[in-house]
Structure 1
Amino acid sequence: MLTTLAVSSYRSLRDIVVPMSRLNLVTGANGSGKSNLYRALRLLAETSRGGVVPALAREGGLQSTLWAGPEGGGSQGTVRTQPIALRLGFAGEDFGYAIDLGLPTPSSSQFRLDPEIKREAIWSGPFLRASNLLVDRSGPMVRVRDGRSWRVAQQHLPAFDSLFDHVVDPAPSPEVLVLRERIRGWRFYDHFRSDRDAPARQSQPGTRTPVLSHDGSDLAAAWQTIVEIGDVEALDAAVDDAFPGASVSVMEEAGRFRLRFDQVGLLRPLDAAELSDGTLRYLLWIAALHTPRPPALMVLNEPETSLHPDLLPPLARLIRAAAQRCQVWVVSHASRLIAALEEDEGCNSVHLEKRDSETRVAGQGLLDTPAWHWPER
C-alpha cells in the first residue's frame, strides 16, 4: 500500500506531499488541482511502461506541464535560479520511488526540448535517506546496493528511458522488478463510455476477463468471469442494492456475450443496448470493483459522472467494500458521494485548495506533512 504521494513542479502542484491510506478521497472546488494530482499519478504509472516521456509530450512537453509560478511560491514573480525539474514520487509500506525529469544540456540535437530523466531512486522505508537507498540512477549510470558497497548495473542508460526498462536482472536488484510489476498493476478508470455506440452496449467475443478494460468494452465477459471465479453473491447483492429486485445475467450466442438486465415490472429483460446511460455506467462500476484480481491500487476519477444522485450512496458502499481488498483512490466533487465515503472511519479525505495559483492540501501544516526528501542531482 502507498503511504505517501509527492509531486513537485507539475502544473499547479508546486510542491505537494499527500498522505495516503487504504481508502483515499480527493475533493476540492473546480480548478483546485484535483485533475492535476490525478494526472501526476498517471504519469508515475507510465514510468514502469517506458512511457513517461511520451506522456509528457502528449501534454505539450515539459515546458507546458511545469509549475509556472515563482520557485518559492507566493504571488511575487522572480527570476528562476534553479534547474528545471519535474519530480514525482511515492513511498509504500516497503519501498519508495522517485523520478526527476529536466531538460537536456545544450547540444546540436533537434530534441533539445525533449525531457531527460536526471535522477531515479528506489529506497526502503517511509522516506529517502542515504542509509536506505537501494537503487540509484544518476544520468546514464545506475548503481545497486551490494551489502555495504555499490555495484554498477548500467553505465549507458538512455536519458529518455527509465531504469525500469533496463535493469531487469532480479538477482542483484529484486526491488526493481517488484516495484515495476506493482506499478504496472495500478488500475485507472476514467469516464466509461455510455453513448449509443459505446462498446459495452455491443456483443463481444467471450473470453475470461478477470480485469475490466478501461473503456468497459468487455463488460459482459468480465461479468461472467466474476460469476464463475469471483464473489457472485457480492455481485448479485450490489445489483440489488442499487436496483432492488433486479438481476443481471449474460447470454452467450455463437461465442459472443451480451448483458441482460431483468427489472421488476418489465415483461422482458433489457439488452445492454437499451439501458440508460446511468444504469450502464453503474453496472460497469460493479464489474470493475468486483474484479477477481484486485490491483495494488485502483484509481477512480469522478465515478459519479452520469449517475442519478440516488445511486451515489450504493456506489460509496461498493467503493468502501473494494477498499477492503485493495487500495482505492477516488477523485470526486459530488457532495452526496463524498458524504457517504466519509462515513468510513478509514477514509483519508484530502481536500485541495488553491492559493496564489498553487494547489495545497487544505489545513495541512508542517507537522501534518509526511516526511519527504527528493534525490539531489
Structure 2
Amino acid sequence: MTVRLPWHRLSTPAVLRPAAPRLGTRLNHRILALTVRNFRTLTDVKLPMGPLTVMVGPNAAGKSNVLHALNFLGDVSREGIEPALNTHGGFDVLAFRGGPRPVSRISVGIEGIWSDFASEDEPDRYELSIDRRRLPEGSRQSHTMYRRERFTQHPLEGVETTVGLTNDALTVDSPLEADHPCGTAKIGRLSSALQGDRALPLHRDSPSARAIGNVRHHLARIRVFDPDVRLARKPWGISESGGHLRSDAANLADFLRGLKEDGDAWELLVEDVRKVVPQIRNIHLVDPPGLVSHRTAVELEENGLRGRTRLAEASWGTVRILCMLAIFHDPNPPLLTCIEEIDHGIHPHALSLMAERLREASERSQYLVTTHSPVFVSELEPEEFVPCERGPNGASVIPARRLKDLREVIEESEYEPMGNLWYSGSLGGAL
C-alpha cells in the first residue's frame, strides 16, 4: 500500500565487577551506524557504532563534527528543524565549505534497532536531508529551504514499512492496514515528524507510528556530555532533575544526592573516586550554610587535612574525574552518551580504571567518545577503535582504516599495545 497526499490536505569484554542492582542490562534499542553527508567536514561518512565507539585522530580531523551531527538530530527532535539550524549557526555554517561550489544539501541519518523485528542484518533507518535552493533574481529572498525525511522500520516479522516526507507530500509504503493515514493535518515544508505524534496523520498506535515515536524518544535524549567544571563545583537545588545529569554537569550535586539515595551506585562511585584520587577518603553531601534551603553541596574528606574541602576549592582535575565517574554510574542513562576528550585533565594512571568503568557502562547504554591518549587507546579492543583523518580536499575520512586492516596490523606487531601502534602511525589517525 502506497499513499501519497499533498501538503494542503495534510496537516565485549566481560564486566569486571557486579553492577548496581538498578543498572540492569543494555537496552535492546541501539544505534548501529551514523551516516552524514556534507555536514561540516563530513562529506560522506558512515560510522559503525557498537556499545562503545572511540574516535581517535589529530585535531580538526572531524571527530567533534560527528558529535555535532548527533547533537543536531537531538535538537531537531526537541525543537524542530528551523530552531535547530539557528542553534547550530544556520545552513551556511553547517554545510561543507570545500570544493568549487557551495553544497545545496546536508544529510544526517542513523541505522539502528527500534522496531520489534529489526536486526543488524535488516536495520531500521532514519534520514533527514535539508535542501537549500537559490531563487530567481528579483525574488524577495535569495534562497528557499525544504526538508526530506524518510523512516524505514520493521514492525512485524518479514514486514518493512517506510514513511517519507518531502516538500509537498507524505508517502506511506506499508502492507498494514493500521498504517493507513487517518484524518488531515497541515505540515510545513520545514516541519519534522520527530516533533510529535500530531505531526503525521497516522494512528498513534499504528506500528509505524510507534517505531517513529521510538526514534523521536531516543534522539531527544542523546546526551553530549561536556562538563563545565566551574558550574559543577557549585551547590544545586534539590529537584526531580537530579535523576538525570545535565550535559554540562551543572546539577552534579543534585545528581550525586540521587545516587546516594540509590545506595549501591553511590558506594561504587565513592570506591572508584578513592582509587583514582587516593587523597580522598570520603564524599559528603551537605546543606551549604548561608544559602536558601533545599540545596545540596559537595564536600571532600581528604587524608591528612582537618575539616573538609568544598568542591568549589577542589582541583579542576578532581572535579572532572567526579563528573566522569558520575556519568558512568548513571542508573538511568539515555540510549547514547557522547563525550569529547574523555582523558582531558585525568592522570594517565587513572585511565585504565576509567576505561574499565566506561566499558561496564556500555553494557547498559551506548557511548561515543573521543580521545588523544595512547594510554586510553591501549585499553580498547580493535572493534572499539575508530581512526579519523582529514583528506587534502578538506573532507574527513572516518573511519580511516577498516577493522580488518587494524586487526592485521595488530597481529603483525605481535600484539603490541594499540596505543603504541596508534602513536607510531601504524593504525591511522596520527599527525
TM range (shorter): 0.7 to 0.9
How far residue 44 of structure 1 moved from its aligned partner, in angstroms, is: 1.7
Aligned to 1:139: 167
For residues 264 and 270 of structure 1, the distance between their equivalents in structure 2, rounded to whole angstroms, comes to: 11
Change (3 A) 1:266 1:346: farther
Q: Deviations over 1:346-370 (max 9, x none)?
A: 85211111122221121249999xx
Aligned to 1:162: 192
Asked whether 1:358 is paired with 2:387, we answer: no
AA aligned to 1:207 is S
Asked whether 1:240 is paired with 2:241, we answer: no
Change (3 A) 1:24 1:320: same
Aligned to 1:73: none
Asked whether 1:294 is paired with 2:294, we answer: no
Match of 2:239 among 194, 204, 207: 207
Structure 1, unmatched stretches of 5+, are 71-76, 126-130, 369-377
Match of 1:101 among 102, 125, 130: 130
What SS is found at the alignment partner of 1:160?
coil
Change (3 A) 1:246 1:101: same
1:276-287 paired onto structure 2 within 5 Å: 276-287=315-326
How far residue 116 of structure 1 moved from its aligned partner, in angstroms, is: 2.2
Aligned to 1:326: 365
TM-score (norm 2): 0.73
Change (3 A) 1:105 1:44: same
AA aligned to 1:116 is Y
TM-score (norm 1): 0.83
> For structure 1, which segment, 324-333 or 286-295, has the greater mean C-alpha deviation from structure 2 after superposition?
286-295
How far residue 283 of structure 1 moved from its aligned partner, in angstroms, is: 0.8
How far residue 54 of structure 1 moved from its aligned partner, in angstroms, is: 2.9
Q: Deviations over 1:86-110 (max 9, x none)?
A: 1110100233210111115637775
AA aligned to 1:204 is W
Aligned to 2:412: none
> For structure 1, which segment, 57-66 or 9-18, has the greater mean C-alpha deviation from structure 2 after superposition?
57-66
Residue correspondences, number: 346
Contact (CA 8 Å) 1:142, 1:155: kept in 2 or not? no
For residues 214 and 114 of structure 1, the distance between their equivalents in structure 2, rounded to whole angstroms, comes to: 34
Aligned to 2:421: none
How far residue 315 of structure 1 moved from its aligned partner, in angstroms, is: 2.2
Match of 2:261 among 228, 238, 243: 228
How far residue 281 of structure 1 moved from its aligned partner, in angstroms, is: 1.1
1:38-57 paired onto structure 2 within 5 Å: 38-57=67-86
For residues 143 and 135 of structure 2, the distance between their equivalents in structure 1, rounded to whole angstroms, comes to: 9
1:83-98 paired onto structure 2 within 5 Å: 84-93=104-113, 94=118, 95-98=124-127
Contact (CA 8 Å) 1:238, 1:318: kept in 2 or not? no
Change (3 A) 1:151 1:50: farther
Aligned to 1:305: 344
Contact (CA 8 Å) 1:134, 1:144: kept in 2 or not? yes
For residues 50 and 218 of structure 1, the distance between their equivalents in structure 2, rounded to whole angstroms, comes to: 22
Contact (CA 8 Å) 1:24, 1:329: kept in 2 or not? yes
Contact (CA 8 Å) 2:243, 2:258: kept in 1 or not? yes
How far residue 30 of structure 1 moved from its aligned partner, in angstroms, is: 1.3
Contact (CA 8 Å) 2:52, 2:368: kept in 1 or not? yes
Q: Deviations over 1:226-250 (max 9, x none)?
A: 1112622322222122123622121
How far residue 134 of structure 1 moved from its aligned partner, in angstroms, is: 2.4
Aligned to 1:180: 216
For residues 12 and 260 of structure 1, the distance between their equivalents in structure 2, rounded to whole angstroms, comes to: 43
What SS is found at the alignment partner of 1:26?
strand
Contact (CA 8 Å) 2:343, 2:376: kept in 1 or not? yes
For residues 225 and 109 of structure 1, the distance between their equivalents in structure 2, rounded to whole angstroms, comes to: 57
What SS is found at the alignment partner of 1:6?
strand
For residues 318 and 378 of structure 2, the distance between their equivalents in structure 1, rounded to whole angstroms, comes to: 22
Contact (CA 8 Å) 2:67, 2:224: kept in 1 or not? no
For residues 346 and 53 of structure 1, the distance between their equivalents in structure 2, rounded to whole angstroms, comes to: 39
Asked whether 1:271 is paired with 2:310, we answer: yes
Change (3 A) 1:234 1:366: closer
How far residue 33 of structure 1 moved from its aligned partner, in angstroms, is: 1.0
> For structure 1, which segment, 167-176 or 91-100, has the greater mean C-alpha deviation from structure 2 after superposition?
167-176
Change (3 A) 1:144 1:50: farther
AA aligned to 2:109 is G
Q: Deviations over 1:149-193 (max 9, x none)?
A: 774466642122211221385223211211111111211112x22
Cα RMSD of the aligned pairs, angstroms, is 2.8
AA aligned to 2:231 is P
Change (3 A) 1:229 1:115: farther
Contact (CA 8 Å) 2:276, 2:350: kept in 1 or not? yes
From the two aligned structures, give the one with the greater helix fraction.
2
From the two aligned structures, give the one with the greater strand fraction.
1
Change (3 A) 1:308 1:162: same
Change (3 A) 1:366 1:228: closer
Change (3 A) 1:25 1:349: same
